[in-house]
Structure 1
Amino acid sequence: MITPLDIQNKEFNRSFRGYKESEVDQFLDEIIDDYERLYRENIELKDKILVLNEQIKQYNNLEETLKETLIVAQSTADEVISAAREKAEIIIEDAERTCKKLIDDANEEVINIRKEYDYLMKEIFIFKTRYKSFIEAQLMTLDEFYSKIEKKDVNMKELTHENDNKIEDAKEEEKITDEAEVEVEVEESNMDENLDDLGA
């Protein structure tokens, strides 16, 4: 590629009736200036293109890395979601089994409590019936006992009355006997007196 220095150092052969040398030199100077400017811009653009190509390469590498990272992240996310879903299903199944067991245990406990309640109510009814029968029997026994005591009390009163009557009768008989004895003694005394009178 021709450089500005090549243009500046270029020499032409002279010929008869050629171009005016001063005008050619002036025009070449202008061309050199423009070409030098374009040459520098071209070099700068090439450098920029190299930098941009390097950046594009880095961006492409970064894009590939990001794609791979996204693929790995997506795969990891899918695995995490799948594992979380499986874990959630296991937790839900465990919770359902636990709830079912708790409900079954509670129902069984209720059934046992009802059975125990029915048994206790039956035992209470039996005890109440037996105790009532026992109390009634004891009351009947007490009634019979007090009835016998009352009868004995009446009999005792009757016996006491009879004894009193017998005592009164005995006293009357004793009194009569005493009076009879007195009369006999009086009669004997009178008889003795009469005998004495007769003997005299």
Structure 2
Amino acid sequence: MASKKIQIEPLTPMDIHKQEFKKRGLSGYDRHEVDSFLDRIVNDYGDALDQIADLKNEIVQLQGQADKFKKQVAEYHAIESKKQAIITEAKEKAQKIIADATIVADNKTAQALIDTDYQRQQLETIKFDYERVKKEVAGYRNYIQELLQKAIANLEDEKWQKALDHYFSTERFYPPDGSEPLTLTDADEEIDEDDEVDNEAGIEVNFEENIDDSHHSSQLIEGDSPNISFNGVDSTGMKHVADKDIIFPDNYKDNN
């Protein structure tokens, strides 16, 4: 049968204070010395118990602070882990953005080089075409100027006027004395006022002149003539042929 463990009550200062010793024989302990010693033990033991209680309370308080610090440390580690995860994710996103931007920049640079080369080729082609057209226009202008100069040189006053009348379908009366021509309306009015007709002179007026088409056919010409120069041009850029003023397109532009 197992022996029961006897639980001894912890010794208290009161137990020490109440403790009494039995006297044995004639020569026992001095009662006063024993009581004085027991009083010292009671005081010191009571102080020790108070210190132990204070230390236990302090331990409990420190344990609470330690638990609080442990909780803060755990929270700090959680925040640190989260922050590290955010930093890692941000780095990955930044690297991806940089890589994508680099690809886009390289593509745009390559495309810009291609476009620049294409535009340069186009510009060279345009310059070449411009010079070619410029030469063709200059040659055509010189050709037209020569034709005009020859036509003007071959025209006389009356032929020039008749050519214009023929072109604009104007009926005009040309007096035999070489005076200024009159339109058909003016000539009829003059004849009606004088009421005399010189029948002896035998003047025949032909209002439908046969004009050589090679000299008097007129065509409208469009184009620039920036460099027209020939004898007989005054300071206003007008060509005088038999008291007639001819203004070329560029001369008109320069004077307006």
- Bucket of the pairwise TM-score, normalised by the shorter protein: 0.5 to 0.7
**2:35 alignment counterpart:** 25
Instruction: Give per-residue Cα distances to partners, 1:114-162, cap 9 Å, x unaligned.
Output: 322321221111101111222234334545558xx9xxxxxxxxxxxxx
Check the 8 A contact 2:13/2:46 in 1, yes or no: yes
CA separation of 1:3 and 1:95: change in aligned 2, threshold 3 A: farther
Within-5 A mapping of 1:116-155:
116-143=126-153
* Equivalent in 89, 93, 106 of residue 83 of structure 1: 93
**1:7 alignment counterpart:** 16
Matched, 1:112 2:122: yes
* Equivalent in 28, 47, 51 of residue 61 of structure 2: 51
Looking at structure 2, the residues matched to 141 and 90 of structure 1 have their Cα atoms a distance apart, in angstroms, of 74
Secondary structure of 1:12's partner?
coil
Matched, 1:39 2:41: no
CA separation of 1:5 and 1:118: change in aligned 2, threshold 3 A: farther
Instruction: Give per-residue Cα distances to partners, 1:75-125, cap 9 Å, x unaligned.
Output: 221112111211222123223323433443344333323322321221111
Secondary structure of 1:13's partner?
coil
Which protein has the bigger helix share?
Answer: 1
Of structures 1 and 2, the larger Rg is shown by 1
- What is the aligned-residue identity percentage? 19
Extract unaligned runs of 5+ from structure 1. 150-200
Check the 8 A contact 2:13/2:42 in 1, yes or no: yes
Residue correspondences, number:
147
Extract unaligned runs of 5+ from structure 2. 1-9, 160-256
CA RMSD of aligned residues (A): 2.6
Looking at structure 1, the residues matched to 12 and 121 of structure 2 have their Cα atoms a distance apart, in angstroms, of 109
Check the 8 A contact 2:23/2:29 in 1, yes or no: no
Q: TM-score, normalised by structure 1?
A: 0.61
Q: Which amino acid aligns with 2:18?
A: N
**1:176 alignment counterpart:** none
Matched, 1:94 2:104: yes
CA separation of 1:6 and 1:114: change in aligned 2, threshold 3 A: farther
Looking at structure 2, the residues matched to 33 and 42 of structure 1 have their Cα atoms a distance apart, in angstroms, of 14
